[in-house]
Amino acid sequence: MRFRALILASSLSLIPCVASAEVPNLEALIKKGGQAILEYSDKAANPYTDRTFIVQMRLEGGNDDGRKLKMKMISKHGTRTAIRFQEPSDLKGLALVIKGASEIYVKLPGTRKVRRVASHARKQGFQGTDWSMDDLRLLHLAPSFDATIKEVTNTHVILNLIKKPKADLPYSRIIAHLPKAHLVPERMEYFDEEGTKIKVQQRSNMQKNKAGRMSYVSNKMTDLIRNHSTYLEVLEESHERVPDRTFSKRWLVRGS
């Protein structure tokens, strides 16, 4: 039994923002090397500590064929996430608080009980979704990867990210395409231990948010092995302070 919607939901916090429209002194960063660019990119992609989204997901491929999910997602520091499903009707009322793969609190509709779940499955996203719990840890790439510059084009800096020896991730390598304008990854290609490209994440539709910052509002993750895609679209976004108690059973039961 694979609870893929939990994993799908947890991936929402990966939707990046862009700190500023222009990168100060790109040439100097390029001279410093890939790792410096990656560290800058991590910061640029995660300018807010608190974020509240309403997101729509669409699943394509296999039996899904356009299945849609809509949910409200609240995150803090990129480490804690609270989610409440709005669509489809079967999932309306499902609420989750995710503090990591080992600490997920679930409240199912039709009941008030809250259950703590720890997920230690080997291939969580395998066959069920295009995202995995491992992807959650990729909000910041620099701690897990050693980056070198693969190519610099007129528009992009392309980084080759090699997994650090101690990083416990299913990807041996990622190729990240960073637009020179803001250095927040626009395209990520994921490779497994055997060197096979297994996933591609494509971000698009950059729009100015309420705070005046640019942000990708569309995201497509494709699992190349299963020929399955997950589309994310941000419908609403705010960055107001989120109280700590949001990530609690109280929030799950009472909604506040």
Partner 1 sequence: MNSTSTDSGTGTHKKSSIEKWAFEIGRFASRHSIAVLGVILFITLALTPYLTVIEYDDDILKFLPDNSPEVERFEEIGNRFQGLSIALVGIEVTQGDLFSIERLSALRELTEGLRQVEGVAFSSSITELQDVSVEESEFGEEMAVVSDLVGELPSPDSAEDTAAIMSTLRSRVLSRSHIRGALISEAGNAALILCYLDADVRLKDAADGIRAQTEKILGSLGNPFKVHYGGSPFVGSYIVHNTRRDVVRLSLLSGIAIIMILFATARSFGGALIALASVGIGIVWVIGLMGLLGQPLTLVSSSLPMLLLALGSAYSIHILVRVFKHLDDGAKTREEAVQQAVQEVGPPIFIAGLTSALAFWSFLAMDIEPMRRFGVWMFVGTMVIVVLALLVVPAACALVPLRVQAGGRTPRWALQAMTGTARAVVNHPFAAAISLVAVVSLSVWFVGDGKRYMTMRDFFLEGSEPVLAEDFLESQLGGSVFMQIQVKGDIKDPLVLRQIDRIAAVAGSQLGVTSIQSIVEPMVIASEALHGDSRIPTAIETTRAIASLTDGDPNLRVIVDPKWEHALIHVKVKGEHVSSALALLKLYDGPVGDDLRGGRVGVLREALTPELSNFEIEEVKKHLMRIYERAGEVRVDPAALHLALTKLPPNRDAASLLPEIEEQLRTIIEEDELIYLEEGKSIAEFAKAISKLIVDKERPFGTESLMPLAMEVASREDREDPEGLKESVAYIAELLGDNLNKGISLYREKELAKLLPEDKRSVYSGTLGRAAGVLLDPYASLPAKLTQGIPESGIMGRASVDFDVTGSPVVYEGMNTSVQRNQEVSLMISSVLVLLALGWFFKSIVLALIAAVPAGFTLLVTFGLMGFLGIPMDVGTSMMTSIAIGIGIDYAVHFLWHHGVPTRERADAVLVESMNATGWGIVINALEVAVGFALLALGTIVPMRNVGILTASAMLVSAVATLVLLPALTRWITPFLRRRTSV
* Contact residue for partner 1 among 32, 33, 77, 88 (CB under 8 A): 88
Could you give phi then psi for residue 225, rounded to 5 degrees? -70, -45
58's enclosing H/E stretch is strand 50-60
| CB nearer to partner 1: pick between 103 and 146 | 103
| CB nearer to partner 1: pick between 47 and 61 | 61
Which parts of 25-64 interact with partner 1 (CB under 8 A)? 59, 62-64
Tokens for 211? 């705070």
86 scored as a contact of partner 1 (CB under 8 A)? no
- Hey, how many other C-beta atoms are within 10 angstroms of the C-beta on 245? 10
112 scored as a contact of partner 1 (CB under 8 A)? yes
Tokens for 5? 């919607």
Q: Residue type for 84, please?
A: R
240 scored as a contact of partner 1 (CB under 8 A)? no
Asked if residues 79 and 46 have their Cβ atoms less than 8 Å apart, the reply is: no
* Contact residue for partner 1 among 20, 90, 205, 207 (CB under 8 A): 90
In terms of Cα–Cα distance, which of 115, 102, 45, 107 is closest to 82? Answer: 107
Rounded Cα distance, 218 and 124, in Å: 24
Q: How far is the CB of 58 from partner 1 (least distance, A)?
A: 14
Q: Which stretch binds partner 1 (CB under 8 A): 22-30, 109-117, 155-163, 178-186?
A: 109-117
What are the residues binding partner 1 (CB under 8 A)? 1-6, 59, 62-64, 88-91, 93-94, 103, 106, 108-123, 127-129, 245, 248-250, 253-256
